[in-house]
Amino acid sequence: MTVRERIEETEERILAPYAARAALSAGRARPEEPCSVRTDYQRDVDRIVHSKAFRRLKHKTQVFLQPEGDHYRTRMTHTLEVSRIARTIARALRLNEDLTEAASLGHDLGHTPFGHAGEQALDELCPGGFRHNEQSLRVVELLENNGQGLNLTYEVRRGILCHTGDETAETLEGQIIRYADRIAYINHDIDDAMRAGIITKEDLPGEIVRVLGGSHRERINTLVTDLIRQSAEGTGLRMTPEVAAAMEALREFMFERVYRNPRAKGEEAKAKDALKRLFDYYVRYPEKLSEDYRLSLETEGLERTVCDYIAGMTDTYAVQKFNDAFVPAWWHVK
């Protein structure tokens, strides 16, 4: 018996009856020989963590554009927080932690530079619109690995795609990502907004504090433990109505006070304009695309390829390319 087979046997014994089992995965688009020491879901975790798209998340905006200070979240730290919350929930419900971890680590691989401002800009420009969850799926299915994709399992791909939007993942593990993502971003965005002086602890509505707690730790603990208690029977994921309503009210508070706050978002109009100008530039001069993207022009089309290229940029790389295209360089003698 291989190490992988022992792990799969352990999964059969200890996981809940309704949990996903790696041995019963619907598989990959391109069949592969199984690994001797890792299950298919464990291999997917490794493929995502070792991908270029994952490494780029450390230089992509979460909420604040290039904040001064080392303690603000990036898209990378957000992803790691989602992963930890998701695994805690999966472990408590006796679900498959490896599947949960893979989907959570991959859920934002398709996010643009400059956060949701970048997503809005590309949504106006790309044929058929742009949604970061769909782009995340496109990254793992097509764009990574020199156009070969990561060839992830069906269940991981569905968890990535369905973490937002109208579709629901078939597995409970995939469904956890939607909850973990919202729990993470609402609460760490509060933390960052307080650090930035956009809001104070006293600004949080009293009824929300009464239900969820007044501190970062208390709010996350309330949301996670309530979800676990209400979902313990395996018939679906849910929260008590009171806690679910408080979380939604907290999200609405963040939209009103932070996500649409001119002080916090004052530079986003510039960011959107920069991406729009870059899009027009590369459509006009496709020879300026990097070589690996130029290779996909024939199969993917010009505008789709330009969209993929810009979506994959980090904040700093997008600024660099904007400067290269539109800011005159100082002349010097060679």
pLDDT digit string, tens, across residues 53-84: 999 999 998 887 777 678 889 999 999 999 99
Q: pLDDT value at position 262?
A: 84
191 and 239 part of one domain: yes
Mean pLDDT of the 256-269 span: 85
CA distance 136 to 127: 17
pTM, to two decimals: 0.95
pLDDT in tens, 16-32: 999 999 999 999 999 99
Inter-residue contact 113 to 61 (CB < 8 Å) = yes
Give a yes or no: residue 334 inside a domain.
Answer: no
DSSP secondary structure letters along 274-289: HHHHHHHHHHH-GGGS
177 and 313 part of one domain: no
Number of domains the chain contains = 2
Residues 6+ apart with CB under 8 A from 74: 57, 58, 59, 60, 61, 62
Q: Is the pLDDT of residue 266 over 90?
A: no
Mean pLDDT of the 240-244 span: 98
Inter-residue contact 251 to 185 (CB < 8 Å) = no
165 and 197 part of one domain: yes
Report the alpha-carbon angle 327-331-333, nearest 5: 155
Q: pLDDT value at position 69?
A: 74
Instruction: Single out the residue in 264, 281, 314 at which a domain terminates.
Output: 264
Inter-residue contact 238 to 176 (CB < 8 Å) = no
Give a yes or no: residue 179 inside a domain.
Answer: yes
Please provide residue 74's backbone torsions phi and psi, each rounded to the nearest 5 degrees: -115, 175
Mean pLDDT of the 291-307 span: 94
CA-based nearest residue to 103, from 63, 65, 38, 152: 152
176 and 309 part of one domain: no
187 and 301 part of one domain: no
Candidate from 111-120, 130-139, 258-267, 309-318 with smallest mean pLDDT: 258-267
User: What secondary structure letter does DSSP report for 141?
Assistant: I
CATH number at residue 151: 1.10.3210.10
CA distance 163 to 178: 4
Give a yes or no: residue 51 inside a domain.
Answer: yes
Longest dimension (CA), the chain: 73
Give a yes or no: residue 79 inside a domain.
Answer: yes
Q: pLDDT value at position 334?
A: 66
CA distance 119 to 136: 12
126 and 243 part of one domain: yes
Q: pLDDT value at position 265?
A: 76
Give a yes or no: residue 54 inside a domain.
Answer: yes
Tokens read off for 269: 């109009």
Half-sphere exposure of 272 (CA within 13 A, CB side): 14
Inter-residue contact 122 to 130 (CB < 8 Å) = yes
Mean pLDDT of the 118-134 span: 96
CA-based nearest residue to 100, from 162, 14, 161, 171: 171
pLDDT in tens, 170-219: 999 999 999 999 999 999 999 999 998 999 999 999 999 999 999 999 99
CA-based nearest residue to 152, from 163, 162, 141: 141
Mean pLDDT of the 88-94 span: 98
115 and 206 part of one domain: yes
Instruction: Single out the residue in 264, 296, 312 at which a domain terminates.
Output: 264
Q: Is the pLDDT of residue 263 over 90?
A: no
115 and 200 part of one domain: yes
Q: Is the pLDDT of residue 331 over 80?
A: no
CA distance 92 to 89: 5
Instruction: Single out the residue in 234, 264, 294 at which a domain terminates.
Output: 264
Inter-residue contact 306 to 294 (CB < 8 Å) = no
Residue range(s) defining the domain that contains residue 132: 3-264
137 and 226 part of one domain: yes
95 and 186 part of one domain: yes
The mean of the pLDDT values for the chain is 95
Give a yes or no: residue 90 inside a domain.
Answer: yes
> At 4, is the pLDDT very low, low, confident or very high (cuts 50, 70, 90)?
very high
38 and 187 part of one domain: yes
Give a yes or no: residue 333 inside a domain.
Answer: no
Q: Is the pLDDT of residue 143 over 90?
A: yes
Q: pLDDT value at position 20?
A: 98
Mean pLDDT of the 84-113 span: 98
188 and 313 part of one domain: no
Give a yes or no: residue 301 inside a domain.
Answer: yes
